[in-house]
Amino acid sequence: MAWRQAGNDLFKRKEYAKAIMAYSKEITDHPDDHVLISNRAEAFLKLKQYTEAYHDALDVTVRCDTDVKGHYRLARALSGLDRFEEARGHLETALRLDRSNCAVADELKSVRALALARRKVKWTNLLCTLLDEAQESAPM
């Protein structure tokens, strides 16, 4: 319990790397505590360590599929990894679990916009490639 409190205190002081170390020590003693793992995921997110946050948040959602924070943190990690469609799914799950969660609703709007922009860029790039190929193969 001492490491958990130390992690929480360090997190509040925005000493995220030290908080991660404290949470990790407590997780060693309590490996099934999904709240500790979720807290460490949030600290990873604060440091933009999206791969580590992804693994922790995924672990949380596997252990407790009704954990709103777990789905929210997993979605934020996926967004950081440019996996917007997957992020959208977890945000929709979180919102189904807690319809009044404004942070989740706002993040869902952002992720939908990013996913749409990504699809537009993808289609634009494809169109440009096809036009370039058509011009190269056209007789002069």
pTM of this structure: 0.82
> According to the model, what pLDDT value does residue 140 have?
65
> Is 70 exceeded by the pLDDT of residue 93?
yes
Whether the CB-CB separation of 41 and 60 falls below 8 Å is answered with yes
> According to the model, what pLDDT value does residue 120 have?
75
Whether the CB-CB separation of 81 and 98 falls below 8 Å is answered with no
Q: Would you place residue 53 in the very low, low, confident or very high pLDDT band (cuts 50, 70, 90)?
A: very high
Q: Rounded to whole angstroms, what are the CA distances from 135 to 122, 124, 127?
A: 20, 16, 12
pLDDT, averaged across the chain: 92
